A and B are shown apart, each in its own frame.
Chain A
Amino acid sequence: MAAPVEVTQLLLHAQDPDANVRSLAEQKISQFQEHDYPGFLASLAAELSSLAKPADSRRLAGLVLKNTLDAKDESRKAELQARWGAVDPTLKNQIREALLSTLQMEPQDVRHTAALVLAKVAAIDLPRREWPNLISSLLANMSATPPHHGVRQATLETLGYVCEEMASINDEVLAPEQINMVLTAVVAGMRPDEPSDDARLAATTALQNAIEFAEHNFDNESERNYIMQMVCQGASARDERIRIASFTCLHEIAANYYAKLPAYMGEVFAISVKAINEDSEDVGLQAVEFWSTLCDIELDLADEDDPAEVNHHFIKAVVPHLVPVLLKQLTKQDEGQEQEETAWNLAMASGTCLGLLARTAEDAIVLQVMPFVTENIGKNTTAEDWRLREAATFAFGSILEGPSPRSLAEIVRQAMGFLLAAMKDPHPYVRDTTAWTIGRVFEFQHDAGNTDVPELITRETLPQVAQVLLGGLGDQVHIAVRVCDAIGRLAEGFTGYAGQSSPLSPFFKEIITNLLNASSRSDPSHGDSTRLQISAFEAINDMVRAASPDTLDTVGQLTPVFLQEIAKTFNMVTASGEQREKQAELQGQLCGVLQVIMQKLSEVEQYKAAVLQYADQIMETLLRVFGNQTCSVHEEAMLAVGAFTYACGRQFTKYLPSLYPYLKMGLMNHQEWQVCLSTVGVLGDISRNVETDLLPYCDEIMQLLIHNLGSNDVHRSIKPQILSTFGDLALVLGDSFEKYLETVKRMLSQAMHLSVMQAQSSADDDFLDYNNELRIGILEAYSGIFQGLGPGKADLQMKSEVPLIIEFANSIGRDATLDDTVVRNCVNLLGDICTVVNHVGPILRQARTNDWEKLLNYCSDSGHLLGDTEWAINAVHTAVEQAA
């Protein structure tokens, strides 16, 4: 039995202002934890539950105890939980009792700490069916007479935290009666006649966490009515915190019981409008948020279009009533808020909500908003009228996404001139919002590739547009950032422009030059010009992506410019960690631009030379960036290498020796999984371009890939990519891949097994998405192997795998909803098999089921898949027919 040890001094020292004292104490604490875990727990619990001890050390004892039970990192958390699980039951009981008793003891903030620890213990114990009397003990606190407000408050907090913990565990841990009792206690605490506001607040907060368990209670009309009544009454409680918490409860209720809402919408509308119009800003924000949440829900419903899920179309109904309320809030801007990136107030929240209403109600919003826009956008009689102009512009910008382009086209066309002129508005916030709105106009209304809609930006209108945007780049930094974004959207809209020359071509060079200048602008008025730099580079990227053939020469000229820019970063001062980080970030952005440039040029055969003339310089630069290694740069440089390989083709071979160490490092970087993932992808790029020249490295590469595939440390998103890369390598190595074949076959059959099992167990969308990624990886791997080995070899080496693959195809065919990419890859693989393996027909006929046929039929019936798969369908049919 672990005996508690006196830890008060230790804990107080751990909070000492003297760093030396502090770190010594922390060291001792962790030694104690390591050497005598039970004693450590007992001592902390004793400290926490001892009235005689100082509140400071008691509170810290509670927090340290909590940290021995929980961690952010999942694997660490599991470790801690297992350790608690193995503690002697008597000691565990002793600690549980200490925690419960602490709830009864002053002061309140130690009660609060105890509530936090209790929930963590409950999170481990309840799923194991330990601590059965926890809930009843807590409920006893609620019904004790005479009532003690502090105890009730701490108990309600505990109930809320316990529900929060239970919600994160998928299993149904709490019995229905327990949930019932918890809810009864919580809702009782929310009554308007609850004497303690703190307790009522704790109850309302607890309900937020308990709502998701209240399914049964929400099915019962009288219980539902009662809960809703308590929540709505809370929205007019005298304590602002309770009003805020009540609206948060409404968000949760809407998210969980949307279908049950109709009866309450009238009242909810009334209290929310009242809150928006009359209450404090913090309450008003939550009220607006309720409508935003409802939009999210209805957008999801419309998106999923599941007939089993009812859509009440509350938003369409509320638009005429809610829009005027929100429009009024738009004029409540804070002075100078445009300078503050994360400004959040009623004006911002209402504009955001308006945008969501537009996406949900679509065309219906236009008529509700446009009168406000036209009336106010030109107002300029008093000094304060900028508020009206900004609000009108914000409202207009907000409704650009959602309504059909048709319903907006004419309005937008007429507004263009006005918006361009407003870029010279005397008030910077109006210019800021105008720039944002122009960007949105381009994003949603400008698509030169779409012939269904009349062109918004033509060769006639573009000169003025370009002139205004270029001017805007010189405006205040926050406005220039928005202008960069608008330029990006403008360019994007020309991406689909067919032909040698787009209307953007005449301005291409000038815009890029101005963006380059903007990127290097150091603006004393704005401390942080990084934002502008990032946005300017991204606008250049968009310009390059959209470049039409007649501007590729200009794109080619950018290569040395950006190589130069990267070279300059090596002269930056890098004394502090922060400075190094900044350097790395800038290198990342520059490598990003280089990547986009090289990719664009490599797409056109004759412009590969524009990259190749700097080949050595490019590679030297990228290697230098690698040498400067931090995660983000490493990845961007790696992606740039990937793009570079397409310009080089087989010539890339000469850079392999110097690149290889970094390639290897990337493949081994399991912590930064994005880096690893990108490296795997780039390995594929390299293999396609250098082909068999990769051979000398392949033994080690294959070892690393196979290791990654089997490792739990490796992020799961990487694994499908690795399988695809097996296919890449098999495809280019041909016979030389044979020596890896046995291992790869084994990996693939394991992966198929896993995928088939996953497909059988019903799972959430995330899970299905991952399984589809995995399937694509498997299918691409096999296609590469079959085609890489070619007819004779594939027949010899792979024929034994064919029945497994057909079962795998069957498993895909049984999907309720088929994924286009998976099906296309699968049908093509079947085609590959029938092409290079002899007598597949009988195997197909003898398969346990012929769900694979559904895949063929799916492609045959689908207009867009047929083109890519027709050959395979025919190959399979031929094979089957020959078996007849």
Chain B
Amino acid sequence: MSRRAAAKEGSSSAYTSFQQKRRAQALDRQKNAREDKVQQLRTLALAAIQDDAEAMHEDTQQQPQNRQQQRHRRRGQQQQQQQELPQDTQLYGMDGVNPLQLGGSMMKAYFARQLMQPEWMSDIPQDLGSSWLVMPRPEGKRCLVISTGNYTYARSRTGALLLRFPSKLPGGGPGTSGGESCYCVLDCILQEQEQRIQHQHNQQQQQQRVGMDADMAPAGESTPSQPQQHSANGSSSSSSSGGCTFFIQDVLAWRGYSLVDCGAEFRLFWLASKLQEEAGGSSSSSSWSLDGGNPGPSHSHRFKLLPYWHATPDGLAAAARAGAAAAAAAAAAAGGCPGYVQDGVYLRHVEGHYSQGGGCTPLALLWKDAGCSRYLLDTDGDGVVPEFQQLVLAYQGPPTDGVATADEPPVVLGRLPQEFVQQMGPKLLRPGRLLRFSIRAGGLLFNADGSPAGADLAYEGPANQRRGRADVYTKVLFQWQARRQPLQLEALLAAAVAEQQQQGAGQQQGSSMADD
């Protein structure tokens, strides 16, 4: 009688059922742990799935036909974009986005939030000489480099995948892996092969730029007219099929150990010593480099740690001429370590953590003057400095119809006139849409305390939505000042000297962290 056993849940078979419960619990545990494990690897491997056609340069050679078609298609898209404000393609508004691209853009959004966003220096910190580190900033694409699962991935500031290649970074190539926990994440500037020093403007390059779309570094912060290697006729090797250089600015994680919560000084110290360990500890050079490992067309990317100093007068001076020094050294070494064209300096507070999440941090600053940068003022697509300062702002939507910077919270610099909003219509003018403006005669407006109050804006047209976000206020301010009263190196030196004098003569020595 089976019912007899079930009657009042008689526990004659209790042990078996309790044991069954534990088995089920164990199975659950195993199932979940298995899924977690595979999910970890998935997350890492996912880095490779999107933008492949755009960024995997081997495609250029393998499928020229296909590649050309794609380029053609994208060029078409871009033209359309410029002409009629196409369907929304910006990061967070998914409406109208082809769902096939959703994964990619979600992924990009994630990676785009990983890089620390510095502010532009509009006034000099009080503790510049004592609490800041300074590093030369090469021209190139800011990118996030992730080494994991025997591959190394480079992602642009907007999160797009630029390169995938094996490297000697821990976890970044065959023979380097120490298990799945072994991965590194670096903050780098990518200098593509044979990056031409000479500044050129011509029609051809314009076309190339049109072909760049998502890969394009946002205008402004990097050098807008920097020559790109996507040649229109596809004849020569693509931008990075050989010999790119990654200049390491910062480290987010090393061998699975996260450093984002450490101070900048510690991070850079850690990075320098770890890189030295990897290199066999033989060299004391700060310009340690890991070349690509096994020889081969796509294996020859180099990593190079940028030198840095405390922002003492000596340190600042050294950093400001570091690019020229490196170029000279490169020329002397004839094909050895690569030089670079400098674009200002990068300053970090010694105790500043690696700030993530997309917002700017005041503990990391960019500065440049005409002495250490070819482009003090932003240029347009043709490499020409426009008459009026250009800026990109995001439309905030009704009811305010404000246009604002990318800061958190956003700084509202103006409002769109009602008629303009109506004319564009809600389909084209969604909240978040990026618009290009220029600052006219009225200039930037300030409140009594110096905080921003607005600007005399003129609408120039839609911005490239793919750049991901509007300009930040400090950048606008920096450019504004640069056109009027640029902050010169001398002012920085003077501030550092004054600080030293204030603190007494005993500590004047600029402790160089590394030999140049």
Contact = CB atoms under 8 A, between A and B. Distances in A.
Interface string A477-499: 00001000100000000000000
Interface string A722-743: 0010011001101100000000
Contacts of A474: none
Contacts of B34: 684, 688, 724, 727-728, 780, 784
B45 A787 contact: yes
B26 interface: yes
Interface string B425-460: 000000000000000000000000000000000000
A663 to B, nearest CB: 15
B161 to A, nearest CB: 12
A588 B10 CA distance: 21
Contacts of A541: 18, 22
Given A731-B41, A791-B48, A877 B7 contact: no
B33 interface: yes
B42 A835 contact: yes
A797 B260 CA distance: 37
Contacts, number: 178
A481 B11 contact: yes
A790 B7 contact: no
A556 interface: no
A784 B101 CA distance: 26
Contacts of B102: 874
Interface in A377-416: none
A490 to B, nearest CB: 16
B179 interface: yes
A559 interface: no
A512 B371 CA distance: 76
B29 A599 contact: yes
Contacts of A873: 103
B22 A636 contact: yes
Contact of B99 (A349, A595, A678, A877): A877
B9 interface: yes
Contact of B26 (A681, A791, A881): A681
Interface majority SS on B: helix, strand, loop or mixed?
helix
A684 B34 CA distance: 8
B45 A790 contact: yes
Contacts of A433: 8
A838 B59 CA distance: 11
Contacts of A592: 18-19, 22
Interface majority SS on A: helix, strand, loop or mixed?
helix
A735 B180 CA distance: 11
Given A351-B8, A685-B30, A835-B42, A596 B25 contact: yes
Nearest to A884: B100
A806 B182 CA distance: 32
Interface string B13-46: 0110011001101110110011001100110011
Contacts of A642: 26, 29-30
B3 interface: yes
Contacts of A682: 26
B23 A678 contact: yes
B49 A688 contact: no
A189 interface: no
B4 A344 contact: yes
Contact of B100 (A535, A646, A787, A878): A878
B3 A882 contact: no
A692 B30 contact: no
B362 to A, nearest CB: 34
- Contact residues on A (Cβ < 8 Å of other chain), bracket: 35 or more
A635 to B, nearest CB: 8
Contacts of B174: 735, 792
Contacts of A632: 19
B22 A596 contact: yes
A352 B4 CA distance: 9
A878 B103 contact: yes
B410 interface: no
Interface in A799-837: 828, 831-832, 834-836
A159 B422 CA distance: 91
Contact of A535 (B11, B27, B52, B164): B11
A150 to B, nearest CB: 31
Nearest to A692: B179
Interface string A847-884: 00000000000000000000000110111011111100
Contacts of B179: 691-692, 732, 734
Interface string A771-790: 00000000010011001101
Interface string B292-325: 0000000000000000000000000000000000
A492 to B, nearest CB: 11
Given A289-B3, A596-B25, A834-B49, A787 B42 contact: yes
Interface string B139-153: 000000000011100
Interface residues of B, number: 51
Interface in A612-645: 632, 635-636, 639, 642-643
B26 A639 contact: yes
Interface string A661-691: 0000000000000100010011011001001
A734 B177 contact: yes
A197 interface: no
Interface string B70-108: 000000000000000000000000000001111110100
A765 interface: no
Nearest to B14: A534
B3 A836 contact: no
A793 interface: yes
Given A349-B3, A485-B9, A791-B45, A881 B100 contact: yes
A878 B10 contact: no
Given A688-B34, A692-B179, A787-B45, A792 B151 contact: yes
A341 interface: yes
B3 A790 contact: no
A599 B23 CA distance: 12
B26 A787 contact: no
A348 interface: yes
A793 B25 CA distance: 35
B446 to A, nearest CB: 46
Given A341-B12, A342-B12, A688 B33 contact: yes
Nearest to A790: B149
A592 B26 CA distance: 11
A352 B3 contact: yes
A531 interface: yes
A632 B16 CA distance: 10
A585 interface: yes
Contact of B150 (A585, A783, A792, A828): A792
Contacts of A585: 15
A882 B42 CA distance: 20
A646 to B, nearest CB: 7
A835 B45 contact: yes
B30 A684 contact: yes
Interface in A573-596: 585, 588-589, 592, 595-596
A538 interface: yes
A674 B177 contact: no
A599 B18 CA distance: 16
Contact of A790 (B19, B29, B100, B151): B151
Contacts of A788: 41
Nearest to A680: B30
Interface of B: 1, 3-12, 14-15, 18-19, 22-23, 25-27, 29-30, 33-34, 37-38, 41-42, 45-46, 48-50, 52-53, 99-104, 106, 149-151, 164, 166, 174, 177, 179-180
14 contacts: A342-B10, A344-B3, A534-B14, A596-B22, A599-B25, A599-B26, A646-B29, A681-B27, A685-B33, A787-B38, A792-B150, A878-B100, A882-B52, A882-B53
Given A731-B41, A732-B37, 12 more contacts: A341-B12, A352-B7, A352-B8, A642-B29, A678-B23, A678-B26, A684-B30, A688-B33, A787-B45, A874-B99, A874-B100, A877-B100
Closest 5 pairs between A and B when the two form their complex, measured CB to CB: A874-B103, A787-B41, A790-B149, A877-B100, A344-B4
